[in-house]
Amino acid sequence: MAAELLNFAILFADVSGSTSLYEKLGDQRALAAIEAVLAELRKSIAIQRGRVIKTIGDEVMAVLPSADAAMQAACDMQNRVAAIPPADNVRLAIRVGFHFGPAIEEGGDFFGDAVNTAARMAGLAKGGQIITSGATVDALSQLLREATRDLDAMTVKGKQDEIRIFEVVWCDSEDLTTLAGRETPVSTHAPTLTLIHREHTLTLGAARPSASLGREATNDLVVADKMASRVHCKIEYRRGKFLLVDQSSNGTYMTVEGDAEIMLKREQLLLRGRGVLSLGHSSAAPGAEIVTFACN
């Protein structure tokens, strides 16, 4: 008999910047710190009658009975981790993503759309942040829905239509409250994005809102990497944000400073902070042509 497709809330949470944590604290102390965080995450899941499906390194995957339960577990996780004292002036932080939708339970594990989308939401989050989808926000109770804010829309691998991306405002800090007010400008500073490849520097913003990257000489930034496509990807300035759009055969690899490398293939993702791009293969691969970026 085929496994039944039902709606579940799938949640992923991991320790942000765990690689640098090992470098700063050493293996044993870093492992102990991560285990302490994971123990707190399990408590949050249990309180909302959820189940830990698996733990891989510094990441937890859990299933919860509803969108409300997942959001409350995610907020509780952030509050618990924020209360953990710093270790040698290193403050621990987690990234959380969740999605409510169809999935299949089989052999103690879960598969399907909800799992894939939840994993992508977690990949978009940065330390101290909770990210979810528009469909999940629609499934929340009214009170919890009011504690979310619409960030943007993006394409997700395996889905034809763009999905809305929302942030959960889990603490009432001064910064978050200001950001949540859509009529209140965060800053009068016009954002720019600086791209550097070898001796070439390119700055994007309101004056120059887009650029193409790839192997072909007609690109705005030519990256002569044998793994890059002729027109590999583009970056677009939209509503004060910079969107990376992959159009390649081998994918675009992005590493934001302090986070793990992710790969986009025929997908879009907001660029944030500082980091590196590699066209067609990992930035760690021999001979990779690195493009650095910085959002200012």
Which segments in the chain show pLDDT lower than 70?
1-3, 155-161, 172-189
What order do you get walking across the sheet with 274-279 strand by strand? 200-204, 193-197, 290-295, 274-279, 252-256, 262-264
pLDDT recorded at residue 174: 43
Exposed/middle/buried for residue 239 (C-beta within 10 Å: 0-12, 13-18, 19+) = exposed
Considering the four listed CATH numbers 2.60.120.560, 3.30.420.40, 3.30.70.1230, 3.30.70.2610, the one that applies to the domain covering 5-180 is: 3.30.70.1230
Query: How many Å from the N-terminal Cα to the C-terminal Cα in the chain?
Result: 55
CATH of domain 193-295: 2.60.200.20
User: DSSP labels for 67-122?
Assistant: HHHHHHHHHHHHHHHHTSPPBTTB---EEEEEEEEEEEEETTEEESHHHHHHHHHH
C-alpha atoms less than 13 angstroms from C-alpha of 11 in its C-beta half-sphere = 32
Interatomic CA distance for residues 119 and 8, integer angstroms: 14
Structure tokens at 162: 């763009």
pLDDT digits (tens, 9 = 90+) for 175-225: 443 333 334 333 445 789 999 999 999 999 888 889 999 999 989 999 999
**pTM assigned to the model:** 0.60
Contact by Cβ (8 Å): 214, 231: yes
Q: Where are the domains of the chain?
A: 5-180, 193-295
pLDDT recorded at residue 124: 85
Question: Checking DSSP bridges between strand 59-64 and strand 51-56, what pairing results, if any?
Answer: antiparallel
Interatomic CA distance for residues 23 and 106, integer angstroms: 38
pLDDT recorded at residue 53: 95
Interatomic CA distance for residues 124 and 130, integer angstroms: 9
